[in-house]
Amino acid sequence: NQYSSEIESFSSTNPAEIEQFRIRFLGSKGIVKELFDAFREVSNEEKKTLGKVLNEFKQLAEAKYKAVFEHSNSLNTNSKPVNKLDLSLPGTGIDIGSRHPLALVRREIVEIFSKLGFTVSEGPEIEDDWHIFSALNFPEEHPARDMQDTFFIKKDAENGDIALRTHTSSVQVRLMEQGKPPFRAIMPGRVYRNEAISARAHCFFHQIEGLYVDEKVSFADLKQTLFYFVQELYGTGTKVRFRPSYFPFTEPSAEMDIECSICKGDGCQMCKGSGWVEILGCGMVDPNVLENCGIDSKKYSGFAFGMGIERIANLKYEIKDLRLFSENDVRFLKQYTSNL
Ligand code: PHE
């Protein structure tokens, strides 16, 4: 009876006290064990009534222990993190990614041309001979078709070879085949050439080509469009010059240089001392190409241009090694930010 009231009034959240309670009543030398031992000594008559009382006493002790133990446990697990969390400490920073410098430059170029009404056109990286070479007026024996430059996937004399595209001019062909003039679009995308990897060359790079076909498009339109583009990208006052050149798909053809933006024309490693850097190839679309794509070359004329995004980015960010673009070193990548 005395023990019963002690058990009933017991309450604690302290694990050590609770363990004490268990040992005192339920332990192998505890009170419950002691009473059961004594129970064996009493007469059979008394056992009937005492047995019931003893069992109730044992259950009371066990139930109390269980309740107190569980309550204390739940308190302790809940309170642990609260005790450990120091809200005055500064938080751990979350590293967020940044756009790849090539993506930044691509977006900037797309933005500039979109102001002039150019839309974006895309096409497959695995192409057939027609779209990479034949439709673009490449002669049968042209060196660009050679194994040296092109990654061939399938050689097929009857239906035409299948290869990784060497330029996005293939998208110009697809665009012209599928629609009617006027065309005013740029074609960003990855292209592949079989070259040894070095600081200045890679087996893949990124291009943006452009095409403008309509009635009465002239070389003056070409010059003014590209001049505007350079002023927007490298700043007003950037000088440009055109040099005659050759491409199978344009006639006449030119290459455009800009005044080296790194040394401002004084001569550096990037422009190899000349003060000028070539940034793109361009020209008036060859009438043969228009006809190959089902366009009346008597009625329509057009210009096209193509540039490597890596080259544009090198000049903009003064990056001297092309390989940095594809190594995914975050120390390099996270230097470039922009709101584009
Ligand atoms: N397709 C050419 C290249 O990859 C670039 C170019 C495009 C030149 C359009 C002239 C006109 O080198």
CA separation, residue 118 to residues 114, 153, 225, 339 (Å): 5, 32, 11, 21
- Is 315's pLDDT higher than 80? yes
Fill in the amino acid letter for 186. I
Does pLDDT of 94 surpass 80?
yes
Residue, of 263 and 31, whose pLDDT is higher: 31
Residue nearest to atom 4 of ligand 1 (CA): 167
**Alpha-carbon distance 242 to 29, whole Å?**
104
Tens-digit pLDDT profile for residues 98-128: 899 999 999 999 999 999 999 999 999 999 9
Q: What is the Å distance from ligand 1's center to 169 Cα? A: 7
Q: What is the pLDDT of residue 70?
A: 87
Sheet holding 301-308, edge to edge: 119-120, 183-192, 204-214, 301-308, 276-285, 250-259, 240-247
Q: What is the ipTM of this complex?
A: 0.97
pLDDT band at 77 (very low <50, low <70, confident <90, very high): low
End-to-end CA distance of the chain: give it in Å, rounded. Answer: 83
pLDDT of residue 208: 97
Cβ of 305 closer than 6 Å to ligand 1, yes or no, is: yes
> Tokens representing 126?
């695995």
Tell me the pLDDT band of 302, cut-offs 50, 70 and 90.
very high
Protein residue with its CA nearest to atom 6 in ligand 1: 306
Q: How far is the CA of 280 from the centre of ligand 1 (A)?
A: 8
Q: What share of the chain in percent tops pLDDT 70?
A: 96
pLDDT band at 87 (very low <50, low <70, confident <90, very high): confident
Q: Does 170 sit in the ligand 1 pocket, CB within 6 Å?
A: no
Q: 340 pLDDT band (50/70/90 cuts)?
A: low
Would the CB of 150 count as within 6 Å of ligand 1? Answer: no
The CA 210 to ligand 1 mean position distance, Å, reads 9
Cβ atoms within 10 Å of 176's Cβ, excluding its own: 24
Residue 198 confidence (pLDDT) above 70: yes
Percent of the chain with pLDDT over 90: 60
